[in-house]
């Protein structure tokens, strides 16, 4: 399992981008670099593993992308469970998102404005343009960019890491300046994306104002997002002026945002009693988002292992809204926590007939089967998922565990190899494939598959070295 930790640019060995004769980075190079970056990022930072939130944010991001100027549809979203406000875009279509954004955004359009802004950095190719502009004065390395963003993703945990990210950000100020110079363009392009997507363009200025207000209450250290996306009164004013006339109408709110916000808030809170108190207080104050507050309360009770209370609250929500898939999902999460695996599997089978190939439901089914010691059945579900989402390292991680429990040792090694490939540990991937090859020596088909994968791995390493 990847673990987050402190690191610096010297610890990250990636190729130097460009020199005085290299010219602008091609789109294919951007894509390859972004995927290498993602592999190393995943080896350093533990991504947040919540399929329900993952699919919600992916759908939001993909929807915005269809209205953006982005030409390459290949996007990869990585979520980090971190209470700090941060989001980032890496060349090649990689978008990072902190769960802390949910704590700052008041509605889905405000959160969408952050993603639209990051998509604008990608569509306008600010990274490669910045590299070209700086080639005469400095050597811009992917390692430097990587170290900055990885440090930003791991900051917020303690004072030491907070101090480190601040010092690193200052040290790399010159490397990030190209990004800052393009903020105005990203604001304009992102706002246009919001308008095309029929979202409130006024949410852009509202989110900026929230961030500026937050920075005034954080002492000498602003939210991570502001280190590379500085917000000023002028910037807020510009955003308001651009959206004037189009933000006067009423825009519909998506109730799902508030449910995902509740999931994020409960996940980030270390003290479960604080979560319970938070949502009870909202209900006592007659919040207009009562369903989301009740949902948050059910999640808080589940996390605090108060399972009968969690079941009571979620049952009331389902009685009110029996078609809400999120409520069903958490109802089944509670069943699994109560070790009622057959009940959970029965509910999941019914839901999957209505929602075939649903990613969160399939992950939940694999978990229920796993806990019920039905390892071969769990293997079948996860194998299907690995074909649907081959770039998801956590699916391969789960698959390796289940195959090991089922006694499928060659399959275990193959799944581990795919996991190591996705986190950029190529030597371990090669070792796992070699172990698998020895175990299937008499199986021509499997041997051929593994030999081909070893050739694929060699090509990956070769491309990475040439970038």
Residues whose CB is less than 8 angstroms from the CB of residue 450 and which lie 6 or more positions away in sequence, other chains included: 414, 433, 436, 437, 440
Of 201, 223, 243, which residue sits at a domain end?
243
Q: pLDDT of 183-219, one tens digit each? A: 778 888 888 999 999 999 888 888 878 877 766 655 5
Of 192, 211, 243, which residue sits at a domain end?
243
Mean of pLDDT over the chain: 82
pLDDT, residue 181, reads: 64
Q: pLDDT of 8-59, one tens digit each? A: 434 444 333 333 334 466 777 778 888 888 888 888 888 899 999 999 999 9
- Residue that the structure tokens 């303690």 belong to: 158
Cα separation of 409 and 400, whole Å? 9
By the 8 A CB rule, do 173 and 179 touch? no
Query: Which DSSP string do the residues of 396-422 spell out, in sequence order?
Result: HHHHHHHHHHHT-HHHHHHHHHHHHHH
Residue 353 lies in a domain: no
Residue 464 lies in a domain: yes
Q: Report angle CA 256, 83, 156 to the nearest 5 degrees.
A: 165
Which of 72-76, 110-114, 239-243, 265-269 has the lowest average pLDDT? 239-243
By the 8 A CB rule, do 206 and 108 touch? no
Tokens representing residue 112 in the block: 């969408």
Q: What is the dihedral of CA 341, 342, 345, 349, to 10 degrees?
A: -170
Tokens representing residue 144 in the block: 């430097």
**Residues found in the chain:** 467
Cα separation of 168 and 154, whole Å? 13
Cα separation of 80 and 115, whole Å? 15
pLDDT, residue 44, reads: 82
Residue 200 lies in a domain: yes
Q: What domain range is 462 assigned to? A: 408-467
Q: pLDDT of 211-227, one tens digit each? A: 777 666 555 555 555 55
Count of structural domains, the chain: 2
Q: pLDDT of 90-120, one tens digit each? A: 888 999 999 999 999 999 999 999 999 889 9
pLDDT, residue 330, reads: 98
Question: Which residue in 69, 180, 61 sits closest to 120, CA to CA?
Answer: 69
Cα separation of 133 and 452, whole Å? 41
| Phi, psi (degrees; rounded to nearest 5) at 413 | -65, -40
Q: How many CB atoms lie within 10 A of CB 142?
A: 24
Residue 344 lies in a domain: no
pLDDT, residue 462, reads: 82
pLDDT, residue 227, reads: 52
> How far is CA 453 from each of CA 171, 434, 437, 447, rounded to the nearest angstrom?
41, 10, 11, 10
Residues whose CB is less than 8 angstroms from the CB of residue 123 and which lie 6 or more positions away in sequence, other chains included: 68, 69, 70, 71, 189
Question: Which residue in 336, 58, 405, 380 sits closest to 348, CA to CA?
Answer: 336
By the 8 A CB rule, do 189 and 112 touch? no
Residue 176 lies in a domain: yes
Residue 256 lies in a domain: no
Residue 137 lies in a domain: yes
Band the pLDDT of 164: cuts 50, 70, 90. very low
Cα separation of 187 and 205, whole Å? 10
Query: Which DSSP string do the residues of 2-14 spell out, in sequence order?
Result: -------GGG---
Q: State mean pLDDT over 417-438.
A: 94
Residues whose CB is less than 8 angstroms from the CB of residue 436 and which lie 6 or more positions away in sequence, other chains included: 410, 411, 413, 414, 417, 450
Of 243, 277, 311, which residue sits at a domain end?
243
């Amino acid at each position: 399992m990847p673990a987050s930790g402190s690191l610096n640019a010297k610890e990250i060995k990636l190729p130097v981008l460009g020199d005085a004769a290299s010219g602008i980075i091609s789109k294919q190079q951007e894509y390859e670099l972004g995927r290498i970056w993602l592999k190393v990022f995943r080896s350093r930072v533990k991504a947040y593993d919540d399929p329900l939130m993952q699919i919600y944010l992916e759908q939001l991001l993909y929807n915005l992308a269809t209205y953006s100027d982005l030409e390459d549809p290949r996007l990869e979203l990585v979520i980090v469970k971190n209470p700090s406000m941060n989001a980032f875009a890496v060349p090649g279509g990689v978008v990072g998102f902190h769960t802390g954004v949910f704590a700052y955004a008041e509605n889905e359009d405000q959160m969408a404005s952050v993603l639209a802004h990051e998509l604008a950095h990608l569509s306008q190719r600010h990274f490669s343009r910045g590299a070209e502009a700086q080639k005469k004065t400095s050597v811009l390395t992917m390692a430097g960019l990587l170290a900055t963003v990885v440090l930003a993703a791991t900051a917020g945990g303690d004072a030491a890491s907070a101090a480190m990210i601040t010092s690193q950000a200052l040290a790399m100020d010159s490397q990030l300046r190209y990004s800052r110079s393009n903020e105005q363009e990203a604001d304009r392009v992102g706002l246009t994306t919001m308008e095309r997507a029929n979202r409130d363009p006024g949410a852009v200025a509202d989110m900026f104002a929230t961030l500026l207000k937050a920075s005034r209450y954080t002492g000498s250290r602003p939210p991570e997002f502001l280190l590379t996306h500085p917000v000023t009164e002028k910037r807020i004013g510009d955003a308001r002026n651009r959206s004037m006339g189009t933000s006067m109408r009423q825009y519909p709110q998506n109730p799902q945002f508030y449910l995902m916000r509740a999931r994020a808030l409960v996940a980030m809170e270390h003290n479960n009693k604080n979560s319970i108190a938070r949502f009870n207080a909202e209900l006592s104050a007659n919040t207009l988002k009562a369903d989301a507050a009740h949902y948050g309360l059910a999640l808080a009770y589940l996390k605090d292992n108060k399972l009968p209370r969690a079941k009571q609250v979620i049952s009331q929500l389902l009685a009110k809204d029996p078609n809400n898939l999120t409520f069903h999902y958490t109802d089944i999460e509670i069943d699994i926590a109560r070790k009622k695996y057959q009940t959970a599997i029965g509910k999941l089978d019914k839901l999957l007939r209505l929602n075939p190939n649903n990613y969160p439901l399939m992950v939940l089914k694999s978990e229920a089967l796993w806990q019920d010691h039905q390892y071969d059945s769990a293997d079948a579900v996860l194998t299907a998922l690995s074909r649907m989402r081959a770039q998801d390292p956590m699916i391969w991680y789960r698959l390796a565990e289940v195959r090991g429990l089922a006694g499928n040792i060659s399959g275990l090694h193959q799944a581990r190899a795919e996991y190591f490939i996705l986190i950029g540990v190529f030597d371990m991937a090669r070792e796992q494939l070699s172990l698998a090859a020895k175990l299937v020596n008499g199986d021509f088909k499997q041997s051929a598959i593994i030999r081909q994968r070893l050739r694929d791995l060699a090509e990956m390493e070769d491309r990475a070295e040439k970038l």
